[in-house]
Amino acid sequence: MSKVRIQKPKQYIQNHYNEPINNSKLAAIIHLTPNYLCTLFKKEEKMTVRAYIEKVRLERAVFLLVTDDMSISDISTEVGYKQPSYFCRVFRDHYHETPSEYRENRKSIGRNRRNG
């Protein structure tokens, strides 16, 4: 039952990842208190709501880094981070390389596959 209840907030996050999102807004979607939403989310997803939002944003950033020539600053804004420096820190903490390094390393892998 609880897994079904958090589907709507998860869908909202996936559709609105580039907008400010807070627990109150998500909880209102399914008529729960923010605290109870957080409890359900942690139980079902094994992560916090904030971590899930970050995961969705970073997955979109990875997609943009390897498929688009947008600047890192523009990608940061596109995926919902107000400060590019904060985006870069979060990205580096998660992927152990900066967005620029990630992009360059994936491009070189692609070049090696085409040439090899």
User: Would you state the pLDDT for residue 113?
Assistant: 57
User: Would you state the pLDDT for residue 1?
Assistant: 55
Q: Which amino acid is at 42?
A: K
CB 100 within 8 A of CB 64: no
In the block, tokens 């040439």 appear at 115
CA nearest neighbour of 77 among 93, 52, 57, 94: 57
pTM summary value: 0.88
CB 6 within 8 A of CB 41: yes
Helix axes 84-95, 99-115, angle to 10 degrees: 60
3 state DSSP class of 62: helix
User: Would you state the pLDDT for residue 116?
Assistant: 52
The per-residue pLDDT string of the chain (116 residues; one tens digit each, 9 = 90 and over) reads 567 789 999 999 999 999 999 999 999 999 999 999 999 999 999 999 999 999 999 999 999 999 999 999 999 999 999 999 999 999 999 999 999 999 999 887 655 555 55
Kindly report the CA angle at 72 between 20 and 114, in degrees rounded to 5? 125
User: Would you state the pLDDT for residue 4?
Assistant: 75
User: Would you state the pLDDT for residue 69?
Assistant: 93
What is the distance between the alpha carbons of residues 99 and 62, in angstroms, rounded to a whole number? 8
